[in-house]
Structure 1
Amino acid sequence: MSEDENILFNHSLGKGLAVLKAFNARRRTMNLSEVAQAAGINKSSAQRMIHTLEALGYVRKNAVTKRFQLTAEIMEIGYNYLASNTLVDVANPFLAELAQVTGETTNLTEPVGQDMIYVARFVGPKFIPIHLPLGSRIPMYCTASGRAYLSALDQAQMLERLEGCELVQHTHQTLTTLEQIFERIEQARRNGFATNCEELFLGDMALAAPVRNSDGIPVAAVHVVAPTSRWTVEDAERRLAPAVLECARAITTSIRALQL
């Protein structure tokens, strides 16, 4: 059912959320016309949405430039999700143990559309070349966590997720044909874990395994960062993959015990 056919859909709320989501790393500040264009609404609606969000404290207007930007108040919404997410609570001690065992940074990501979003992290003691804050999104098709999640879906669901992906060549290592990506996903199904070596960022490698709920449905992925400055693919698979698999299994077992 489309938004227009759903009589319960609140279009004003939808427009307000579209305005909030329009601000990002590329659009840190915007004037009213830019807000309207980025949110896909007309200027009159944008003015009402911005005025309301400013009154609620989520947006502020620079007195000099007259441009709008988000305020720190918006972080409360994201924090409330993390604070109420039982999966994150369950996963945290296992992620901490994985970071201690491997000496590397560990993460938990959840699926959102064709992306995986970071919801938990334990930072290892060694420098990592890439920093992605909690809330960052990474594409499924070219990341270890995305492939791990896709490998736990049935074939139809996996294809449905991939159909919506824009296969961008992020680095010279990025696999951008469905045949290549399917091969990596099948490999992940056989091994129980997935890998990514410099397909999203140069110098960045990761190994990941899926986390399932009490019904056996994948709901997240655990991954450990293995920078190419310290690891080869062979060494990472041999020394890190068993720990990643054990972490994912432990989280899955705990989730099933809680019937999440």
Structure 2
Amino acid sequence: MNTLTGMPRDKKDEVDRKFVEALARGLDILRAFNPGDGFLGNQEIAQRTGLAKSSISRLTYTLTSLGYLTYSKRLEKYQLGAGVLALGYAFVSNLAIRQVANPLMKELSIATGTSVGLADRDRLDMIYVDHCAPKDIVTFKKEIGDKIPMANTASGRAYLVALSQEERDFFMGHFKEKFGDKFEAIKAGVDQALENYEKFGYCYSWGDWEPDTTAIAVPLKLSQGQIYVLNAGGPAFRLSQEFLSGEVAPQLKSMVRNIEATLIRF
């Protein structure tokens, strides 16, 4: 898959003919809501999506009628409705990789004292589809649906190294456009990740995303071409680079191989 929408690039002309602009705009509105947002008004949605307020008014009305948004007359704002939850639950509950990976993730989390996550790509971010953390860790817990950036995290780098050069160049082009002066540092991190993965079989981020966070990650490739990422990490003050590289990385790589072997039967 070579585009941010997941469409194969060689079908660009076909996509252009079949692309439904109104549907895309409606989905962009749903994507405008982040965890913890609560209610958003049309003006806020317009700022986040770049859509005209006149278009947003029609689309939010339609999405509310279908149950994907709810409307507060008092606040004159919208929040996500139960229809979105139903879609998300259907996706997560039917995800075979999550059913296979979760027990192994819990085992690794307990054995190493790390937070262990399973992530998929969402545009230029990585989104958690599962996460396990020791009970005594309160600062590095993630929820299903939480996002982290692809550009400078261990998970994002692990996803990028699993791509072909053409696919990776596509994302690097978007990073260059988005990050401007910060792009060279991002590119250096990805180049280093390619070397690390070839040599050691995993990628890392030693405070590159958040200064007090260390993490390692390994890509997981399914036979259908889908790429997921498994990561392990946590607060830097309790998880040293040496511990993650020497103790956790071999176990994380072994877990990925076991999951890949199991999912061949699905």
**Shorter-chain TM-score category?**
0.7 to 0.9
Establish whether residue 200 from structure 1 lines up as the match of residue 231 from structure 2.
no
Amino acid at match of 2:232: V
Deviation at 1:108, TM superposition (A): 0.6
Establish whether residue 142 from structure 1 lines up as the match of residue 141 from structure 2.
no
Amino acid at match of 1:89: Q
Question: Unaligned regions of 5+ residues in structure 2, if any?
Answer: 1-11
Deviation at 1:176, TM superposition (A): 1.8
Aligned residue in 1 for 2:114: 104
Distance 1:148 1:35 in 2: 32
Aligned residue in 1 for 2:133: 123
Aligned residue in 2 for 1:232: 240
Aligned residue in 2 for 1:89: 99
Q: Deviations over 1:53-97 (max 9, x none)?
A: 222232222232222222344222212111121222222222122
Distance 1:137 1:175 in 2: 23
Distance 1:112 1:132 in 2: 16
Residue 254 (structure 1) aligned to one of 259, 262, 265: 262
TM-score when normalising by structure 2? 0.82
Deviation at 1:116, TM superposition (A): 1.6
Equivalent pair of 2:233/2:239 in contact (CA under 8 Å) = no
Distance 1:17 1:184 in 2: 33
Deviation at 1:29, TM superposition (A): 3.1
242-251 vs 177-186, greater mean Cα deviation? 177-186
Percent identity over the alignment is 27
Equivalent pair of 1:213/1:252 in contact (CA under 8 Å) = yes
Deviation at 1:19, TM superposition (A): 1.9
Residue 191 (structure 1) aligned to one of 191, 194, 200: 200
Structure 1 pair 98/74, CA: closer, same or farther in 2 (3 Å)? same
Aligned residue in 1 for 2:219: 210
Q: Report matched runs for 1:162-181 at 5 Å.
A: 162-165=172-175, 166-167=178-179, 176-181=185-190
Bigger helix fraction: 2
Equivalent pair of 2:216/2:231 in contact (CA under 8 Å) = yes
Aligned residues: 253
**Counterpart secondary structure, 2:256:** helix
Distance 2:78 2:135 in 1: 38
Question: Unaligned regions of 5+ residues in structure 1, if any?
Answer: none
Deviation at 1:191, TM superposition (A): 0.4
Deviation at 1:104, TM superposition (A): 2.0
Deviation at 1:240, TM superposition (A): 0.8
Distance 1:5 1:158 in 2: 23
**Counterpart secondary structure, 1:202:** coil
Aligned residue in 1 for 2:251: 243
Structure 1 pair 57/221, CA: closer, same or farther in 2 (3 Å)? same
